[in-house]
Amino acid sequence: MSDHGSAYAHTARWIAQLSGRPITFLLAVATIGVWLITGPVFGFSDTWQLVINTGTTIVTFLMVFLIQNTQNRDTVAMQLKLDELIRATKGAHLSLLDLEELEEKELAVFVRQYELLAAKGREQLQKGRSDTGTPEVVSRTAAPETSLSRRKPTSSKGRSGPPSEKPGPDG
């Protein structure tokens, strides 16, 4: 199975690189040009039209899967690079490492916290103050060895998100 997967991945990368080159675009334009020139030869028949329609449909269908494969690979690589930047940044919240795995509702909590932080920053700028700094966003974190210990999962994916903004019993 891995031989087929690696052969597919190798072929998909090769085709993706080839299809993005200017010469490939020129070949596609030339193909259309030849098809147009042969129109009068075939009397602009239904078969003549069917040839280009079928060809472009097949190419488009296959390219959808190729583009998706390339996009998936690029997304994973970018996420790993971002995860490494978060991991290597002192004071960064490790709970942000796999946000792409959270449910929409859980992501919305993070988004809201960053929106509030941005609003506070703009407010600071309007008052003539600096908007820089590293305020706590996700949660009050413990030392890394403690914060990486098992916590009670709160999501369907077994991850715990930031605390909600619900007021406590005091207010």
Q: In whole angstroms, what is the distance from residue 67 CA to residue 84 CA?
A: 26
Return the pLDDT at 66.
Answer: 92
Return the pLDDT at 29.
Answer: 96
In a domain, 167, yes or no: no
Return the pLDDT at 168.
Answer: 45
In a domain, 100, yes or no: yes
Element (H, E) at 51: helix 46-88
Element (H, E) at 3: helix 2-19
Question: Residue 69 in contact with residue 6, Cβ under 8 Å?
Answer: no
Distance from chain centroid for Cα 44:
44
Tokens 């700094």, located at residue: 133
Return the pLDDT at 77.
Answer: 93
| 101-144 per-position pLDDT tens digit | 889 998 898 889 889 989 999 999 999 999 887 777 765 333 34
Query: Number of structural domains, the chain?
Result: 2
Of 83, 86, 93, 89, nearest to 117 (Cα)? 93
Q: Among the three residues 88, 118, 153, which one is the final residue of a domain in this structure?
A: 88
